[in-house]
Each structure stands twice: as structure tokens, then as C-alpha cells.
């Protein structure tokens, strides 16, 4: 970008505008201020910013006020008279005593508001002819909406142009400083490089800190949240700006003020060629392969899938860094433990959605949907289900895996479905991932797309530092197949084509800027399922599984039960389901009836009894009374005839643990809720968590009492 700008500049841009005698920054309405503040080092691209302000921003502001809200396709009389009077006076000043550029430009810019209004009316007529409903009243409102949205776009373009121009000015300034101070290019680049390298490790640590604060502190005060986001955003801006300044400086150094023009042309041509190469469809794999999800998935495959691989027990399989057959299942469809009396595994991921697809407005609540994947199919959100099928196309361009099909289940005719296009054709080119990839995406706890806690500052920071563990999943349905070709203004139509032809770059930029449209574009950004619901129970309650066991091992040192509360809240909102803990009387009654052993009852309590006593500073002062709680899940419109039994286990210490576990707890007061940011367990830490889990499991799962608790008649059957 900067190389192309310098190619235009040193190729004659300054000379052309100087010869014309018109477009000169000093003669522009804001040009005097720019020159007085920056001096001779200003970038001539400030002219572009001022033209955007004059001929896009200002006319759309005026257009909003001169359009009538009461009469169809007409102007307000008083604002229109004022517009013509002021614009006419400026035009007169521009030609009275010779050509004066400043008033002439301002007058023409004001009159451009009439053109903007005509464009808005034209788009409204096209929309009306396409939809066939609404009438003139709707068209009047639509016109004002178009002008408002167009003004927002114009401000965004002007802001982007200003950022580009300021960075180009800084690059030019460094070049001039180098020339005046006789500093070598090597020293200048070394200084910039050292500055960036010094910031990167600090930024990585802060990114992890901000991420932990975002997940565990979503209930924190507004002031604290704003400070956290502001600090993350400021650090991200610094990290984003420094490399661009270095790149701009390199562009100016290649041209050397026009003295080495052809060297700059060669470098610019090479950069453009590289940009175009990344625009090819086969380059899309770069987006996912450049993230940490590949490394994370590989490690999970060695640690868990490899551990259950019989070939690992042979001498040639003891090297955990070596890939051997059986460490992975190439397709989730081939992973079928349920056919050998094993469980049907559901892998939960979050589909990040920070933008409303229809309006492109930013969402402020969940910012994501749950997606559950199994060997049988996939479920999205509350009620969109599909099953895996064979793809109608045997191959696909690029190096990606052979795609698969997804047929919708129980879809009402004419209803929306994220895996069905506008012609009711199901997805038949969906990307197929291996078992380790799905597991890696599901369990990676850090990513720019973090569901409900996603924000621009941390997303930009993590994206620039490549702390990315999510995946852009190809659903196989393009935007055109889903919604057709939208009715857009010429500028928006051009911007619409950029992500279409530069998909690789657009996906990366979208990830950095936390712009995720959810399941309504071809590529879905999926990340850790805990960003939507951390206990993995949302999908079980949606399916109304009769008996559910929930293990809560999330970091919760103050025992706020945030993850459990999030589950209770979401299933109530989405499914109308109520989760209610059994009272002490109800638990004692199960003991009296001979269903629950007394030894189990001693460690089985209410949700409140799972929380240990705390002091005024919310620090734990003693052990918990119980390890687990029993809950009923009541479903809507069923009274007691349809409910599930939920056993909730909370990582807790009751005081009867083995001596080594209690010793570790005394030395580490937050145990068993130490920060999940600690990914390098020592032997004592690993063994303490393992032994605590074994201890709790031995106490709670004594006998088959959980399966003996009677369910309503309609819920009887295998668990």
C-alpha cells in the first residue's frame, strides 16, 4: 500500500498537482492547518482525506437535513434556501477576483448534497420495485436510513485515509530525519526493529492477562472493564502502528525521494504480486495454518488420542514427537465409539458472531452461537440441525480436504437455516476436519474470537501477536447463494467486492478487528466452546438427556459459580428450562428411601453448600461442605412429566482429602481453582489435581445410586 502510494508520488503525483495549480494542500480549506502543524514533511495524501471530507462526508451531513420527512421525494424549503444561498455566495467568492480554490471547493461540496439525495431516492425506488411493499411512507424513512448509513461509511473511509496518511507522514519524516542526521539505514531499521521486538513479549503477556480478565471478570464493574479494554486497545494500536511506520519508512527508503525510482518500482511490483498470489483460492489455507490451532491440535492428539493408541505401547511408538498411525481420525464421521458400546461424543465449539448479518451492526450480548459436532452431524444454535452426507462434488480446488455434505433435519419449508441456501439447497461442500482438529478448536482457551467477551482491543492485540487458536470453517455456501446480490451504492458495491477477491487478507483483518458475521457467510470463525458455555451442558439440556453429569473445573477461586449461572441463564432464555437444586430435605428423603447411601449424602449438598466460607475480602477461610449437588431440570409445558436429573460436581476441598493434596492446598490457597493461564504443570500440581478428582469420584460414585433415582414415566429408559 505504501509502496504503491510512493510509486504514485515519486512517479509524478507532486508534479502533476503542482502543474495543475489547483489541487495543492496549501490551497485546500484544511490545508493551511496541516502545513502549519506538520511543516514540510506532510504527506500529499492529505489531499485525499480532505477530498473525502468535502465530497463525501459534508454533502451527506447536509443531505440528511434538507430531505423532507413529510413529503415523498421532496426537500425542506428553509434548509434548501439556506443551502443555495451559502453555496452561491462561496462560488461567487471563488471566481470574483480570480480563481480562489478554497471557497470554490466548499461551494461545490455543499451542492453535492443534492446529488447524494438523488442517489438515496434512486436506491429507495429500486428497493421498492424489488420488494413490492412499503409505499411512500416507508421510502421516506428508507431515504434517511440510506443517508445515515452512507454518512457512517464516508466517515469510516475518511478515518482510514487519515490513518494511512499519518503513517505515511511519519515514514516520510523518518526518511527526512535519516537524511538530515546522516543516520545509516541499517541503524534506523535496527532501532525500529529493536523497539518492536522489545514490545512483542510484553504484549504477549498482557494479551493473556487481558484475556483472563475478560473471561473471569465479565461481572466486573463498568469502570474496570473500560480500563481493561482501553489498555488493551492502546497497546494494540501501538503494536499495529509501529510495523506500519517501519513499512512506510522502508518504502520511502527504497525510492529515496525519487532518486532510486526504478528500485522502488521493482519492490512495489513484487509486493503487489505477493498480494495477488495470496488472493488465489489455494492460498486460503494460510489463514488457518498460520494460527496456533495446528500446534495445539497436534499436542492434544499426542497427549490424549495417542495415549489410547495401542501402537504407542510398542517400542517404536514411545517417541511422542513422532506421528504414527492411529493418533488421529481423519474425519469426524469415522469416529464412532458409540457403535462399540462407547459414548456418543459431542464436541462443542463457538461460532463467533459480533455482527448482525442483516444490518452489520455490532452485537453486544452473546456474540456467538453454540455448535455441537458429532459423528452423525452438527447442531447450530437452538434448533438448526444437519446430518453428514456424501458431497456431490468429489474434489475441490486447493489443498483442502475433500468436502462433505450436510442435510438439514426437521427444517420447515421456507425457514432460514445456516446450512441451506436461498434456493433450499443444503450445503454439499462443507469442510471436513479431523477429530484432533475439532477437539483442538473446542479446547483452545485463547483467541481473538472469544464469544461473549470478545472486544476490539484484545482481538486486535491477540491477532497481531498471532495468539490465534480458532479456525475459519468453510460451510461451502457463498453469500450470493445465501442472500443473492444485494442492492448497494457504488462505493459499497466496490467495498463488497474486496473480500470476495481478497478472501485470505479479509479473513485475517476480520479476525483482528473482531468482525464475525456468525453462520451467515461462507466462512465461520469457530473457537473454544467455553466462550459460549463453559460446562458443555447446553447441548445436553437442549436434547433433554434424562441424566446429566456436569463437572465444573473452571478457575473460580472466589466460588462465584459464574459458569453454572451462565448455563442456568442460557437454558432458561433459549429453552424455557429451569434448573433447581434439590433441598437438604429432598436429599435426606432419598437417603431415607434407600436410594442414596449416607456416605454419598455426606458429600452431596445444595449449591450453597458447595461454596466454602470466605472473609470480607472474598478469600476462602475454610473447606466446603460438599463436592456435588443434585438438580432437577424442568422443561416448559410439561409440569413434572418431563424433567432431567443433573448431577453437578464442583472442584472443591472438604478437608478429608489425602495429606499431600491438603499440603498443596495450604501452600497454594487458590487450589483447586488456580489460573487456567498456567499451562505448565509441575509434578505436585498435576498429581494434586489428579488425586483430588479421583478422591471426589470415589466418594460420589459409590454404587449406582444416581441411576436408581426415579424419573417421571416419560423419562424412564437408558441414561
Question: pLDDT class for 568, splitting at 50, 70, 90?
Answer: very high
CA distance readout (Å), 613 to 220, 507, 554, 559, 608:
21, 48, 19, 10, 10
The verdict on residue 703 lying in a domain is yes
Looking at the structure, tell me whether residues 19 and 153 fall in a common domain: yes
Alpha helices (runs of H) in 444-522, residue ranges in sequence order:
456-464, 479-483, 490-501, 503-512
Question: pLDDT class for 133, splitting at 50, 70, 90?
Answer: low
What would the mean pLDDT of 685-702 be, rounded to a whole number? 93
Among 499, 531, 563, residue at a domain's last position: 531
- Please tell me the predicted confidence (pLDDT) of residue 50: 83
- Please tell me the predicted confidence (pLDDT) of residue 20: 40
The verdict on residue 493 lying in a domain is yes
**What CA–CA distance (Å, rounded) separates 648 from 643?**
16
Range of the domain at 381: 293-531
Is the pLDDT score of 202 beyond 50?
A: yes
Cis before 672 (ω within 30)? yes
Q: Which helix (H) or strand (E) holds 377?
A: strand 377-380
Q: For residue range 359-376, what is the model confidence (pLDDT) as tens digits?
A: 555 666 788 999 999 999
The three three-digit cell numbers of residue 637, written as one number: 409445558
Looking at the structure, tell me whether residues 128 and 255 fall in a common domain: yes
CA distance readout (Å), 108 to 22, 60, 489, 604, 698:
14, 13, 21, 78, 82
- Beta bridge mates, 368: 352
Is the pLDDT score of 715 beyond 90?
A: no
Is the pLDDT score of 549 beyond 90?
A: yes
Residue scoring higher pLDDT (581 or 669)? 581
Looking at the structure, tell me whether residues 421 and 511 fall in a common domain: yes
Pick the most confident of 145-154, 208-217, 302-311, 485-494.
145-154
Looking at the structure, tell me whether residues 55 and 106 fall in a common domain: yes
Looking at the structure, tell me whether residues 43 and 136 fall in a common domain: yes
The verdict on residue 229 lying in a domain is no
Q: For residue range 650-669, what is the model confidence (pLDDT) as tens digits?
A: 999 999 999 999 999 999 88
Looking at the structure, tell me whether residues 558 and 501 fall in a common domain: no
CA atoms within a 13 Å half-sphere pointing along the CA-CB vector of 350 = 31
Looking at the structure, tell me whether residues 621 and 659 fall in a common domain: yes
Among 531, 554, 573, residue at a domain's last position: 531
Query: How much is the mean pLDDT over the chain?
Result: 81
Q: For residue range 408-421, what is the model confidence (pLDDT) as tens digits?
A: 998 888 788 999 98
Looking at the structure, tell me whether residues 274 and 310 fall in a common domain: no
**What CA–CA distance (Å, rounded) separates 573 from 578?**
10
The verdict on residue 94 lying in a domain is yes
Q: For residue range 434-462, what is the model confidence (pLDDT) as tens digits?
A: 999 999 999 887 889 988 888 877 788 78
Q: For residue range 432-441, what is the model confidence (pLDDT) as tens digits?
A: 899 999 999 9
Looking at the structure, tell me whether residues 684 and 586 fall in a common domain: yes
Cell numbers 489531499: residue = 47
501 torsion bin: left (phi>0), alpha (psi -120 to 50), beta (else): alpha
Phi, psi of 634, deg, nearest 5: -95, 135
Q: Which helix (H) or strand (E) holds 526?
A: strand 523-528
* Nearest alpha carbon to residue 430 among 408, 401, 454: 401
Among 483, 509, 531, residue at a domain's last position: 531
Structural domains counted in the chain: 3
CA 281 to chain centre: 22
Residue scoring higher pLDDT (104 or 659)? 659
Residue scoring higher pLDDT (2 or 102)? 102
The verdict on residue 211 lying in a domain is no
The verdict on residue 670 lying in a domain is yes
The verdict on residue 564 lying in a domain is yes
The answer to whether 436 and 297 are in contact (CB under 8 A) is: yes
Looking at the structure, tell me whether residues 484 and 596 fall in a common domain: no
The verdict on residue 79 lying in a domain is yes
**What CA–CA distance (Å, rounded) separates 540 from 46?**
57
Q: What is the CA radius of gyration of the chain?
A: 31
Looking at the structure, tell me whether residues 588 and 648 fall in a common domain: yes
Q: For residue range 40-53, what is the model confidence (pLDDT) as tens digits?
A: 556 777 888 888 88
Looking at the structure, tell me whether residues 117 and 265 fall in a common domain: yes
Phi, psi of 348, deg, nearest 5: -100, 130
The answer to whether 264 and 7 are in contact (CB under 8 A) is: yes
Q: Residue 407, SS3?
A: strand
Amino acid at each position: 500500500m505504501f509502496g504503491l502510494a510512493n510509486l504514485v508520488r515519486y512517479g509524478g503525483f507532486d508534479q502533476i498537482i503542482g502543474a495543475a495549480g489547483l489541487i495543492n494542500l496549501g490551497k485546500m480549506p484544511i490545508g493551511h492547518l496541516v502545513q502549519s502543524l506538520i511543516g514540510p514533511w506532510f504527506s500529499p495524501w492529505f489531499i485525499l482525506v480532505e477530498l473525502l471530507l468535502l465530497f463525501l462526508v459534508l454533502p451527506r451531513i447536509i443531505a440528511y437535513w434538507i430531505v423532507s420527512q413529510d413529503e415523498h421525494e421532496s426537500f425542506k424549503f428553509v434548509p434548501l434556501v439556506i443551502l443555495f444561498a451559502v453555496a452561491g455566495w462561496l462560488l461567487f467568492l471563488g471566481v470574483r477576483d480570480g480563481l480562489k480554490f478554497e471557497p470554490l471547493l466548499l461551494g461545490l461540496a455543499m451542492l453535492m448534497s443534492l446529488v447524494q439525495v438523488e442517489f438515496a431516492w434512486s436506491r429507495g425506488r429500486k428497493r421498492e420495485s424489488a420488494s413490492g411493499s412499503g409505499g411512500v411512507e416507508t421510502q421516506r424513512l428508507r431515504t434517511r436510513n440510506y443517508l445515515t448509513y452512507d454518512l457512517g461509511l464516508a466517515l469510516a473511509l475518511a478515518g482510514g485515509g487519515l490513518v494511512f496518511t499519518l503513517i505515511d507522514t511519519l515514514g516520510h519524516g523518518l526518511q527526512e530525519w535519516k537524511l538530515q542526521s546522516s543516520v545509516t539505514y541499517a541503524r534506523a531499521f535496527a532501532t525500529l526493529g529493536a523497539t518492536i521486538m522489545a514490545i512483542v513479549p510484553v504484549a504477549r503477556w498482557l494479551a493473556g492477562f487481558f484475556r483472563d480478565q475478560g473471561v473471569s471478570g465479565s461481572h466486573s464493574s463498568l469502570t474496570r472493564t473500560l480500563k481493561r479494554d482501553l489498555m488493551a486497545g492502546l497497546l494494540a494500536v501501538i503494536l499495529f502502528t509501529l510495523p506500519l511506520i517501519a513499512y512506510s519508512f522502508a518504502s520511502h527508503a527504497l525510492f529515496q525521494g525519487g532518486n532510486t525510482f526504478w528500485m522502488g518500482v521493482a519492490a512495489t511490483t513484487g509486493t503487489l504480486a505477493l498480494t495477488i498470489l495470496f488472493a488465489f483460492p489455494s492460498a486460503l489455507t494460510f489463514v488457518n495454518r498460520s494460527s496456533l490451532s495446528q500446534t495445539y491440535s497436534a499436542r492434544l492428539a499426542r497427549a490424549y488420542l495417542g495415549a489410547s493408541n495401542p501402537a504407542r505401547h510398542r517400542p517404536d511408538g514411545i517417541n511422542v514427537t513422532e506421528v504414527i498411525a492411529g493418533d488421529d481420525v481423519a474425519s469426524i464421521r469415522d469416529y464412532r465409539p458409540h457403535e462399540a458400546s462407547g459414548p456418543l461424543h459431542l464436541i462443542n465449539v463457538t461460532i463467533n458472531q459480533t455482527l448482525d448479518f442483516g444490518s452489520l451492526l455490532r452485537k453486544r450480548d452473546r456474540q456467538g452461537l453454540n455448535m455441537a459436532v458429532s459423528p452423525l452431524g452438527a447442531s447450530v444454535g437452538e434448533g438448526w440441525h444437519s446430518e453428514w452426507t456424501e458431497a456431490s462434488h468429489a474434489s475441490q480446488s486447493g489443498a483442502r480436504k475433500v468436502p462433505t455434505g450436510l442435510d438439514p433435519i426437521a427444517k420447515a419449508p421456507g425457514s432460514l437455516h445456516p446450512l441451506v441456501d436461498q434456493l433450499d439447497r443444503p450445503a454439499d461442500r462443507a469442510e471436513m476436519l479431523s477429530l484432533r482438529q475439532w477437539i483442538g478448536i473446542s479446547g483452545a482457551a485463547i483467541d481473538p474470537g472469544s464469544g461473549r467477551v470478545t472486544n476490539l482491543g484484545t482481538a486486535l492485540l491477540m491477532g497481531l501477536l498471532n495468539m490465534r487458536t480458532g479456525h475459519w470453517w468453510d460451510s461451502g455456501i457463498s453469500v450470493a447463494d445465501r442472500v443473492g446480490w444485494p442492492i448497494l451504492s457504488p462505493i459499497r458495491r466496490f467495498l463488497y467486492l474486496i473480500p470476495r477477491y481478497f478472501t485470505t487478507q479479509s479473513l485475517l483483518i476480520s479476525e483482528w478487528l473482531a468482525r464475525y458475521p456468525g453462520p451467515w457467510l461462507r466462512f465461520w470463525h469457530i473457537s473454544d466452546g467455553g466462550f459460549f458455555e463453559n460446562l458443555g451442558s447446553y447441548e445436553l439440556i437442549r436434547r433433554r438427556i434424562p441424566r446429566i453429569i456436569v463437572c465444573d473445573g473452571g478457575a473460580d477461586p472466589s466460588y462465584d459459580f459464574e459458569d453454572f449461572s451462565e448455563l442456568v441463564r442460557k437454558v432458561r432464555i433459549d429453552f424455557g428450562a429451569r434448573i433447581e437444586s434439590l433441598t437438604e430435605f429432598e436429599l435426606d428423603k432419598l437417603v431415607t428411601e434407600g436410594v442414596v447411601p449416607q456416605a454419598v449424602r455426606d458429600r452431596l449438598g445444595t449449591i450453597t453448600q458447595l461454596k466454602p466460607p470466605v472473609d470480607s475480602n472474598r478469600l476462602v477461610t475454610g473447606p466446603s461442605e460438599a463436592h456435588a449437588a443434585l438438580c432437577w431440570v424442568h422443561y416448559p409445558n410439561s409440569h413434572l412429566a418431563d424433567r432431567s436429573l443433573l448431577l453437578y460436581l464442583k472442584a472443591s476441598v472438604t478437608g478429608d482429602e489425602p495429606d499431600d493434596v491438603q499440603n498443596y492446598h495450604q501452600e497454594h490457597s487458590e487450589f483447586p481453582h488456580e489460573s487456567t493461564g498456567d499451562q505448565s504443570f509441575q509434578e505436585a500440581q498435576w498429581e494434586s489435581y489428579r488425586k483430588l478428582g479421583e478422591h471426589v469420584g470415589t466418594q460420589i460414585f459409590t454404587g449406582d445410586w444416581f441411576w436408581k433415582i426415579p424419573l417421571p414415566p416419560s423419562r424412564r429408559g437408558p441414561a
